[in-house]
Amino acid sequence: MIYTCTLNPAIDYHIEVDKVNIGKLNRTDHTQFLIGGKGINVSLVLKHLGVESIPIGFIGGFTGDFIKKQLREIDIHQYRFIEINGETRINVKIKDHSNETELNSLGPDISDIEWKAFTDIIKQLSSNDTLICSGSLPKGIPNAYQEIAGICQKNNVSFIMDTPGVYYDQFLSYQPILVKPNLNELSTYFNTQIKTIDEIVHYGKELIKKGAKKVLISFSAEGSLLITEDKIYQANPIKGISISSIGSGDSMVAGFIYQHLQTINDHKAYQYAVAAATATAFKKGLANQEDIEKYLILTTIKELNI
Ligand SMILES: Nc1ncnc2c1ncn2[C@@H]1O[C@H](COP(=O)(O)OP(=O)(O)O)[C@@H](O)[C@H]1O
Ligand SMILES: O=P(O)(O)OC[C@H]1O[C@](O)(COP(=O)(O)O)[C@@H](O)[C@@H]1O
């Protein structure tokens, strides 16, 4: 079974406005509440692809109730969230004519008892399971990813990490099967401004040396690279008009794992990942199978010899 772990889920409050006037009254054109948090988005895209997964993590308050209700409405009933005292956060996503601005909240405080209840779920996973851990950590559990990675390694659970760069040292040595940084996350981790393809390859290989089995590095409209222990692949960036890139990275992870579990083929999995990411960027909401198949035809992958 695939488990998606979102320790810090969110409701994304999307606001569309022609132009944001900072320090002034702004009236919004379009608003929408969408459930989010990176692992939950992965589960949603997998669901669109007909694959069941179990979302796990922490949930609380009226915001948490909204997330559970929405999941049930799209026929995801198997979630196993630990109910917390605090409230699941609301993140604000503002799109105006030229920018996408994100305000992501810190999230609630997790108590020791709540954390223990969560790790009991992780301890039940076995070598037949795959765990996808995504996103930031809420307060109170600063070393959560280290503990999760340790349990996974001990129990032979394959795990994937898509987290902010500040957490990488917690899990790399436990050998995640895939790490998915965007350029910012990679730059944060190595504390340097990474720009060129040569630099991206260099630092991607460093993550492999530190323990990651594969590294999928995305750089928005400019594309992405997949680095494995012996190969480097680059996808052509697909040109188009981005409607909302929120969730593109999560769709990339979902697309990759969807295809990789079926074919165990890096090239095919990467191609599917790019098509899924593109499909999400070019529409409102998350990619569905039809969109992905459309962009799959346009996605070409080449091998680099650097
Ligand atoms: N404006 C865009 N145009 C085309 N593709 C995009 C655009 N934004 C995102 N994508 C696709 O989504 C992938 C992930 O986007 P990115 O913003 O790098 O990830 P994250 O959401 O993790 O920050 C990119 O590599 C690309 O394939
Ligand atoms: O946990 P973080 O790092 O604050 O990120 C949470 C945000 O990431 C998202 O999952 C979107 O992620 P991506 O755009 O990277 O795919 C939003 O739904 C959510 O608000």
Calculate mean pLDDT across residues 175-185: 97
Nearest CA to ligand 2 atom 10: 38
The tens digit of pLDDT for each residue in 265-300 reads 999 999 999 999 999 999 989 999 999 999 999 999
For ligand 2, mutation pick of 6, 15, 104 (most atoms within 8 Å of CB): 104
258: nearest Cα among 43, 74, 55: 43
Nearest CA to ligand 1 atom 8: 220
Cβ(213)–Cβ(130) below 8 Å: no
- Residue 25 makes CB contacts below 8 A (sequence gap 6+) with none
The tens digit of pLDDT for each residue in 92-140 reads 999 998 899 999 999 999 999 999 999 999 999 999 999 999 999 999 9
pLDDT range class, residue 216, cuts 50, 70, 90: very high
Nearest CA to ligand 1 atom 10: 220
For 101, other C-beta atoms within 10 Å of its C-beta total 11
Q: Which residue has the tokens 């601005």?
A: 101
Residue 306 is predicted with a pLDDT of: 81
Q: What H or E segment, with its residue span, contains residue 71?
A: helix 61-73
Residue 6 to residue 89: CA distance in whole angstroms: 12
Ligand nearest to the CA of 292: 1
266 catalytic residue (yes or no)? no
Among 12, 129, 162, 250, the one annotated catalytic: 250
Token pair in block for residue 265: 């083929």
The tens digit of pLDDT for each residue in 228-277 reads 999 999 998 899 998 989 999 999 999 999 999 999 999 999 999 999 99
Cβ(159)–Cβ(173) below 8 Å: no
277: phi then psi, degrees, rounded to nearest 5: -65, -45
- Ligand 2: residues whose CB is within 6 Å? 8, 10, 12, 36-38, 41, 91, 104, 135-136, 164, 246-250
Ligand nearest to the CA of 42: 2
Q: Which structural domains are found in the chain, ordered by start?
A: 1-20+30-154 (3.40.1190.20), 177-306 (3.40.1190.20)
Cβ(63)–Cβ(31) below 8 Å: no
Exposure string (b/e) for 9-26, b if CB count within 10 Å is 16 or more?
bbbbbbbbbeebeeeeee
Calculate mean pLDDT across residues 169-188: 97
